[in-house]
Structures are given as structure tokens and as C-alpha cells.
Amino acid sequence: MRQRVAYSLRARLLLLLFAAVVITACIQSFIAYRTALDETNEIFDYQMRQMALSLRPGLNADGYGSNGFRQDEDESFEFIVQVSTSNHKLLFQSTPGTGLPQREDTGFSLFEVQGTTYKLYTLRHGKQLIQVAQDRAARRTLARNLAFRTTIPIMVMVTLLLFLVWWVVTSSLAPVNRVQRQISTRKAESLDEVDTKGLPTEVRPLVAEINLLLRRMRQAFEAQKNFVADAAHELRSPLSALKLQVEQLRRSGTEKDREIAILRLGTGIDRATRLVEQLLVLARQQANSDLHSNAQPIEINRLCLIAFKDVYPLAQQKNIDMGLIQSDECYVMGQEEALRIMLRNILDNSVKYSPENSKIDLSVILNGRSVDLLVEDSGPGIPDSDFGRVMDRFYRIPGNPASGSGLGLSIVRTIADLHAAKIEIKKSATLGGLAVRVTFEAYRLLTSPTKVPNQPGLET
């Protein structure tokens, strides 16, 4: 398997931009060179033609150069000029010894003499044949030099452009490098946020996300720390009580003292047992992540009725008026055992924290596609500031005398999360105490089961 090579954005940008600049420059130079070459050719041709044309009036039809062409010039001319009559009689030759072929066809052509290729221009003027030739190699060298000179500014500009690209890329990515340094040099356990000052808008969302993640991690760490501290307190308190109760039993002298001590020890053991059970339920439900493998349609109103009947005797002991207000027939996908535990915990909580002679209402409401389980009580409720914390593990309403494990609503939340249900805890509008609403997605049975009449009231 080929491993993906990590690349640097800066290196990649530089490489691609450099390549683009260089390729563009090459193409441009090539085009400029070619154009310059063609233009030079044309100019040279034009020169040759002009030269030939300008020789027309200067010579007689039958005489040698009267205008004093210096024929003994020793320099090697790049141009060779020759004028002859139509019957091949040479009238003028600029470079003696280098005869040009007297061709009939006019215009441009090539010929070779003494290993040198010449470009020839032939012009017929009356009876005269005017010919101008130019050494093609010299002509080419000149043209190339000229064309090459036109590309020099491009080369200079390219160098400048490359430097500019490097500078722009490096300085644009500087804030990213700064963030990278800031992150790489921090302490491993540091969860401080990264400074977003001066960051470009493209990178800012990324850093903001990282900061969000850091903040969430910090919160999670804090929650964990709180949990450990709370757990220490909550697990030790029942043990402290047991230890003291045993000590009391050991020290009790009279039969009456002993009876009191044994009674207290019994309640202490009950409390510790309840705590352990709740902890186990919580741990089991938290580990229970594969809902979908064993979820089935649960008739939630029937389950509510069962939970209701379970809790009713406890409510009666405190003379609490507990009623089932509404019980729509509906189904949710889920695990029966988990949902039963959840319902039991919500109802237990209500009964536990409601004073004597208060009221508790339970409703199962089918709202189109969702199912609401609503438990309301007329108890003392909880302070507004604590609504956010009430489902935390070991949270307990301040000053509440009831000795719960503090895990009930944590269990409720865990099970609700497992079923993708929403929990809402607020002040009850009708009864004034606490209202716990769990909203599930309703499950529609494809084939309607045997029609069950609406659940009658509670039979006790």
C-alpha cells in the first residue's frame, strides 16, 4: 500500500506557482523569439527589395557604373548586388568574383556558392536584371540575436515574479505557521485556546473549530474531575455510615440501644445496596451501545402502566395522589428492560422528592410522529440554576433530605440517549413542581395489531 505523503501547503503552492510562471515565461519567450525572427526576416527581405529598387535609375541600359561605385572595396560585404542585362551581360557587380546566377524568375530564391547559402532577390526592370543576395547564415545570426534580445526582459520579469510569488506565499502563510508553532510548543496537558488574532478567514474557521474542540475537552476533563470528586464523596458516605453504625452496634450496652443500632445498620446496608445497584444499572446502560441489534417495537403505554403500578404503593405510603392522565396507544423502537428502568427511575424520583399529600401526573401522548412521556409533580421542584446539572451523576437537589443515590436521572438520560430520545426537564406548568418530558420517535406498525381499547384507569 502506498502511503500518502504529507505535503506542505507552502511547498506545494511555491512549486506549482513557480512551475506555472516558468512554463508561461518559456512559452512567451518562444513566441516572442519566433515572432521576432519572422519580423526580422521580413525586414531583411524588405531591405533587399528596397536596395534592388533603389538601383534601378542608377545604371544605364548599356553602360558601366557611371555613378562611381567603388569596385575595389576590399571589405566582405554581407550583401552582394549584381545588375545585368537581359542577354546576360553584366552591368554591375558589387563583389567581383562572386557571380550571382542570372535567373529569369523574379522574387526571392536561394542559391549556394562556395559553400555559402545566399538568399537572392531578383528584380526585372526593363532590360535590366537587378539582383541582391545576402549571406543566409549571417542574416540568421543577426535575426536570432535580435529575437533573443526581445526575450531578455521576459527573463528579468520572470525572476522578479518568482521572487514575488515566494514572498507572497511565505508571508500569506505566516499566520498558519504561527498557529502551528503555538500548538507545537504548548505543553501536552495544556488545553488553552489558540489565538485567532490576525488569522486569514480561510484558516480562522479551522482554528475556531480546534478551539471549540479544546473547550469541549476542557469541559469534559472538568466534568470528569467533578465526577471523581463526587464519586469519592458519594461512595464513601454510605461506607462511613456503615462503619459508624457498626461501631454503634458494638458499643451499645442495652437491648434498646442494640435494637436502634441494628435498625440503623439495616437502613445503611439498604442504602449502600441501592447505590451499588444504581451504579451497576448505569454502567450496564452506558455500555449498552448496540441498541439496534436487539431493538423491537415496544408498546410504551403498556410499559408505563406497569411502571405506574410498581410505584403506586410507594406513592400511597406518602399519600400522594398519583394518576395516569392520558395513555395513547403507541409504540417506540427500543429495549423493553432499559425503558422499564428509565420509567421506574423517573417515577421513583417524583415519588421520592414529592412531599406527602402532593400530586403526580403521568401521561403518554402520541403527537403524530413523536411520543411524549410526561411526568409532572407538585413537589418542590429544583432551583432554576440547577436545571442544567440535574442529570449529572451524583447531582442531588441541595438541602433535600431524601437519601437517593443521585444517579436516577443520569440513568434516565443514558437510556434516553440510547433510544435517541430527547429529555426536557422544567417547571411543571400545571402542578408547579418538576416536569420531566421524554420525547421518542413513534414507531408505526405496518400491520395494525389487534385493537386494544384505550387503557382504563389504574386498578389497584
Partner 1 sequence: MRLLLVEDDTMIGESVLDLLRDEGYAVDWVKDGDIALSVLETEQYDLILLDLGLPKCDGLTVLRTLRDRKSQTPVLVATARDAIAQRIEGLDTGADDYIVKPYDLGEMLARIRSLLRRSVGRAEPVYEFCGVSIDPATREVKVDGQAVVVSAREWAILEMLLARPGTVLSRKQLEERLYSWKDGVSSNAVEVHIHSLRKKIGAELIQNVRGVGYMVSKGIS
Question: Which residues contact partner 1 (rule: CB under 8 A)?
Answer: 229, 232-245, 247-248, 251, 264, 267-268, 271, 398-401, 403
End-to-end CA distance of the chain: 70
Question: Which of 388/449 has CB closer to partner 1?
Answer: 388
Q: What is the smallest separation between the CB atom of 276 and partner 1, expressed in angstroms?
A: 15
The answer to whether 442 and 371 have CB atoms below 8 angstroms apart is yes
Question: Which of 175/238 has CB closer to partner 1?
Answer: 238
Residue for grid cell 545570426: 141
Residue for grid cell 474557521: 205
Question: Which of 105/384 has CB closer to partner 1?
Answer: 384
Question: Which of 385/454 has CB closer to partner 1?
Answer: 385
Question: Which of 61/232 has CB closer to partner 1?
Answer: 232
Residue for grid cell 472538568: 222
Question: Which of 37/249 has CB closer to partner 1?
Answer: 249
Cell of 351: 415519588
Q: What is the smallest separation between the CB atom of 240 and partner 1, expressed in angstroms?
A: 4
Question: Which of 125/271 has CB closer to partner 1?
Answer: 271
Q: What is the smallest separation between the CB atom of 265 and partner 1, expressed in angstroms?
A: 9
Distance between CA atoms of 46 and 352, rounded to whole angstroms?
Answer: 112
CA 65 to chain centre: 88
How many other C-beta atoms are found inside a 10 Å radius of the C-beta of residue 353?
22
Residue from 136, 167, 125 nearest 17 by CA: 167
Q: What is the smallest separation between the CB atom of 244 and partner 1, expressed in angstroms?
A: 4
Phi, psi torsion values for 166, nearest 5 degrees = -60, -45
Q: What is the smallest separation between the CB atom of 204 and partner 1, expressed in angstroms?
A: 37
Q: What is the smallest separation between the CB atom of 250 and partner 1, expressed in angstroms?
A: 9
Question: Which of 401/456 has CB closer to partner 1?
Answer: 401
